[in-house]
Chains A and B, each alone.
Chain A
């Protein structure tokens, strides 16, 4: 079996769990501590990647340049990486400056059926000395056949691998296996998996991916991430050791980083499967919507679970946070109308 590569998203997806307020001091200390733990890359930046700091998805405390500058000198063995979703960030404003700051790897992501929008960015990165990987988000929304076709496009642009994201934590282990196997069998490039834990399946789904031939594990320490969080790297590492699968990771080092930095510095509250994240996973709605939905539910006085279910029906994709306010307003109006009709009926 080929060696597994661990892509660490603690500072990136974990940024969601911190409302994008991770300090540069935490970034420096984290990178320094985790540098020789055997991770392939540490991804740094806003939860939705470069250029995503916005009113739509949340503003970052620091600029990208500040975050990358805090990480770079502290990563000697592990590659400094970034994430970018075309439509949020651009080559001119974001990728080129990040490359000038010394990043070595970029993951370019898009909704799982739209791989052609990643062409410019993957091509640019891979021809400018940076390892480029494709990411297919919300991969529960497409069948294996379609994901294979999209992965092949990314491969043709120069991607070294493709990572399937279960952005809503909506996939079952069997569905993960079907998706990973299909691409591994016909694509001949590294396949990765990024889990979300809405249904308590993040570690199990990642194991299913590895068992199906995935070579890239995209996960976070303590499972820190949007919504119910991600696959917990140190847990997975322990489980893989127990299964006699070589991870190349320093298990105790990961535990030490968790205890000394992640828990005190990055974990504002325990990562748990709240009632709302469970409803989110079952509705198939992007995990990072959770905090916005809570705010809108209060603002418009509606049940946040109803917002999740309605968004699921409308098949919203990552980045469509503006739909939350729209749905909440509509639900509020509907409730008011119901109140009126109830009143009318009771008068009759």
Chain B
């Protein structure tokens, strides 16, 4: 290793924070210098401590008290808590990657706008549903700029949705819809989120419906396939399980996300889709910084 790894802190020790930690530790460009939460007893905190990672129950205060500990901060708390964190992190000059649906920073879907996000101080990763479906919606809108309506349905297993996700279901639904509108320019969009408690847990599944005056299914199939490949570069378990079909007056596409099984078992693709995106953005930031491109 010729270059030092870029230091990152993770705030939030739930399912997302813990999964993020595993992925950061695997990265050749990042190293986790602090894992911060509010209780040393949480499952995620014990998991991190067992890995020998520096942990704290002082949450963001630990970063305020030791600003040199990191360059990048992942916030995996909740939308309302990130509202308090955002100005603090900005004041400290940290690159904040927000995994809550707070929508404070610019919305970031790496496959669409990664480079533009690297000059921001705070980027928002929308939601897991957004990371899984907005790229497909974007591909549809590229082929058919006249698409009239896009609707996405994300079903995730109950077990993979921790207390934070549940407490933020309203922001989750709203933010995913806002991202669909923002990235595709479609005039109307809708998002539906379903938690399914079935045992064994279901894999994360997303259905993207669209209303297109004269759908060119061949062109759509190619565009969706290309998008799938690009996402697989950073989310290996991303898979289109139903190519565009025209039924019932709508074009339907289905995507399934299998996780790497890092913190929770592979059914939790909804964790991977957003934690992989977060690490991907952080690595891009780290590479740019090492080249001296930032600050």
Across-interface contacts of B207 in A (CB, < 8 A): 56, 322
Q: How many angstroms between the C-alpha atoms of A113 and B196 in the bound complex?
A: 9
Chain B residues 235-257 with CB under 8 Å of chain A are 242, 245, 247-248, 250, 252, 254
A274 contacts chain B at the CB level, 8 A cutoff: no
Is there an interface contact between B209 and A314, defined as CB atoms closer than 8 Å?
A: no
Assess whether B53 is interfacial by the CB under 8 Å rule.
no
Interface centre among A111, A319, A322 (most CB of B within 10 A): A322
A111 to B198, CA, bound (A): 11
Is there contact, CB below 8 Å, between B197 and A111? yes
**A119-B167, A317-B197, A322-B254 known; A86+B151 contact, CB < 8 A:** no
Contact assessment for B170 and A86 in the assembled complex, using a CB-CB cutoff below 8 Å = yes
CA distance A120 to B158 in the complex (A): 18
The answer to whether A325 has its CB under 8 Å from any CB of chain B is: yes
Nearest Cβ distance between residue B199 and chain A, in whole angstroms? 8
Q: With A54-B190, A117-B166, A119-B167 in contact, is A315–B254 under 8 Å at CB?
A: no
Proximity bits, A112-149, B CB within 8 Å = 1, else 0: 01101101110000000000000000000100000000
Is B195's beta carbon under 8 Å from chain A?
yes
Q: Which of B174, B209, B248 contacts A93 (CB 8 A)?
A: B174
Specify the main secondary structure of chain A where it touches its partner. mixed
- Partner among B193, B247, B248 whose Cβ is within 8 Å of the Cβ of A87: B193
A204 CB within 8 Å of chain B: no
Known: A54-B192, A113-B197, A317-B197. A120 touches B170 (CB 8 A): yes
Instruction: Point out the residues of chain A lying under 8 angstroms from B169, CB to CB.
Output: 86-87, 117, 120
A117 to B166, alpha carbons, bound, how many Å?
5
The total of Cβ contacts below 8 Å across the A-B interface reads 92
Within the assembled complex, what's the spacing in Å between the Cα atoms of A51 and B252? 20
Is B248 a contact partner of A295 (Cβ separation < 8 A)? yes
- Give the chain A neighbours of B196 by CB distance below 8 A: 111, 315-317, 320
The CA of A295 and the CA of B163, in the complex, are separated in Å by 37
* A322 and B170 contacting across the interface, CB-CB below 8 Å: no
B284 at the interface (CB under 8 A from A): no
Say yes or no for A265: interface residue by CB 8 A criterion: no
Partner of B195, one of A90, A91, A92, A117: A117
Considering only residues 38-87 of chain A, those with a C-beta below 8 Å from chain B are 51, 54-56, 86-87
What is the CA–CA distance of A322 and B133 in the complex, to the nearest angstrom? 15
- Contact yes or no, B173 A87, CB < 8 A: yes
B side interface size, CB within 8 A: 33
Establish whether residues B254 and A56, one from each chain, have CB atoms under 8 Å apart when the complex forms: no
Cross-chain contact of B252 among A87, A315, A325 (Cβ < 8 A): A325
A299 within 8 A of B: yes
Contact mask B183-213 → A, CB, 8 Å, 1/0? 0000000101111111100000101010100
Report whether B252 and A86 are in contact in the complex, using a CB–CB cutoff of 8 Å: no
Across the interface, name the chain B residue whose C-beta is closest to A314.
Answer: B198
Contacts of B194 in A (CB 8 A): 87, 317, 319-320
Residues 4-45 (chain A) with a chain B CB within 8 angstroms: none
Is the CB–CB distance between B209 and A315 below 8 Å?
Answer: no
User: Cα distance A314–B196 when bound, in Å?
Assistant: 11
A55 to B251, CA, bound (A): 10
Complex alpha-carbon distance, A119 and B78, angstroms: 15
Flag whether A329 is at the interface (Cβ < 8 A).
yes
Q: Is B59 an interface residue (CB 8 A)?
A: no
CA distance A92 to B79 in the complex (A): 15
A 305-343 to B, binary, CB cutoff 8 A, 1 in contact else 0: 000000000111101101001100100000000000000
CB distance from B173 to the nearest CB of A (A): 5
**Chain A residues whose C-beta falls within 8 Å of the C-beta of B158 in the assembled complex:** 113-114
Residues in B neighbouring A252, C-beta threshold 8 A:
none
CB-based contact A315/B198 at 8 Å: yes
- In the complex, A56→B177 CA distance in Å? 15
Task: Give, as a whole number of angstroms, the nearest-CB distance from A185 to chain B.
Answer: 25
The 4 nearest A-B residue pairs measured at CB: A87-B193, A322-B207, A315-B198, A55-B209
A-B contacts, 30 of them at CB < 8 A, read A54-B190, A55-B149, A55-B211, A56-B192, A86-B169, A86-B170, A87-B169, A88-B173, A88-B192, A90-B174, A91-B170, A92-B174, A110-B195, A111-B195, A111-B197, A113-B197, A114-B195, A117-B166, A117-B169, A120-B169, A295-B248, A314-B198, A315-B198, A317-B194, A317-B196, A319-B155, A320-B194, A320-B196, A322-B254, A325-B242
- Measured CB to CB, the residues of A under 8 A from B are 51, 54-56, 86-93, 110-111, 113-114, 116-117, 119-121, 141, 295, 299, 314-317, 319-320, 322, 325-326, 329
Which chain B residues have a beta carbon within 8 Å of chain A's beta carbons? 149, 151, 153, 155, 158, 163, 166-167, 169-170, 173-174, 177, 190, 192-199, 205, 207, 209, 211, 242, 245, 247-248, 250, 252, 254
